[in-house]
């Protein structure tokens, strides 16, 4: 089905972020395992649980609105996950890899934040009130994760990477 209307675009965008979240549920455990800093590992583990809930929220939107998601793979998230994996493969475990992992995770979070922001705007235009409510909950989690990662980068991991 080609994308012609705003409603088509909403479904396409929702399908895209659904794929992105599913990819994150696979990459976050790897990022947690690659982390040395316990607080960073805990942040990844916490966000894994949240991400599983975010997938369920989309399932809930699909169920209540009768939307049929497209089977697409989010190429942007695939690229971001791939870059993160390259760093895991190339950098020795420790504070420098931790710093790289934070950056990789924040790139993914920023992609998600932009995606949910657009979806919420579209949903509002289309009068998808219930969907917007659920998407806004997820957006808040993504923003909180992004902020937690920023704090970790400043407070702990960067200091360790500098040898302090
Ligand atoms: Fe997410």
**66-113 pLDDT, tens digit each:** 999 999 999 999 999 999 999 999 999 999 999 999 999 999 999 999
Which of 147, 159, 163 lies closest to 46 in space, CA to CA? 147
- 157 CA distance to ligand 1 middle (Å): 23
Residues in the chain: 164
Of 83, 84, 105, residue with least CA distance to 150: 105
> In the block, which residue shows the tokens 């939107």?
61
- Residue-averaged pLDDT of the chain: 95
- The two tokens of residue 96 are 């420098």
Q: Looking at residue 86, what is its pLDDT?
A: 98
Fold assignment, 6-161? Ferritin (1.20.1260)
**9 C-alpha to center of ligand 1: Å?**
19
Gap from CA of 49 to ligand 1 centroid (Å):
10
pLDDT value at residue 164: 65
Six-digit token string for 16: 């895209």
Residues whose Cβ atom is located within 5 A of ion ligand 1: 21, 51, 54, 112
Residue 23 to residues 3, 77, 99, 122: CA-CA distances in angstroms? 23, 7, 21, 23
Tell me: pLDDT of 9 over 90. yes
Six token digits for residue 163? 């040898």
Amino acid 157: pLDDT:
76
- What is the pTM assigned to this prediction? 0.94
The per-residue pLDDT for range 21-49, each reduced to its tens digit, is 999 999 999 999 999 999 999 999 999 99
Ranges of H-type helices in the chain: 6-34, 38-65, 75-90, 95-126, 129-152, 158-161
Across the range 146-156, mean pLDDT stands at 92
Q: What is the pLDDT of residue 146?
A: 97
Ligand 1 centroid, distance to 70 Cα (angstroms) = 18
Burial class (CB in 10 A: 0-12, 13-18, 19+), 43: buried
């Amino acid at each position: 089905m080609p994308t012609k209307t705003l409603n088509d675009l909403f479904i396409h965008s929702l399908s895209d972020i659904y794929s992105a979240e599913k990819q994150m549920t696979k990459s976050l455990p790897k990022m947690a395992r690659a982390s040395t800093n316990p607080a960073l590992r805990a942040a990844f583990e916490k966000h894994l649980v949240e991400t599983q809930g975010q997938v369920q929220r989309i399932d809930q939107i699909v169920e209540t609105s009768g939307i049929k998601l497209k089977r697409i793979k989010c190429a942007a998230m695939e690229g971001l996950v791939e870059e993160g994996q390259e760093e895991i493969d190339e950098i020795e475990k420790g504070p420098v890899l931790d710093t790289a992992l934070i950056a990789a995770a924040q790139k993914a979070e920023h992609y998600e934040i932009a995606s949910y922001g657009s979806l919420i705007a579209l949903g509002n235009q289309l009068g998808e009130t219930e969907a917007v409510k659920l998407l806004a909950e997820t957006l808040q989690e993504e923003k909180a994760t992004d902020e937690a990662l920023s704090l970790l980068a400043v407070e702990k991991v960067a200091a360790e990477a500098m040898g302090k």
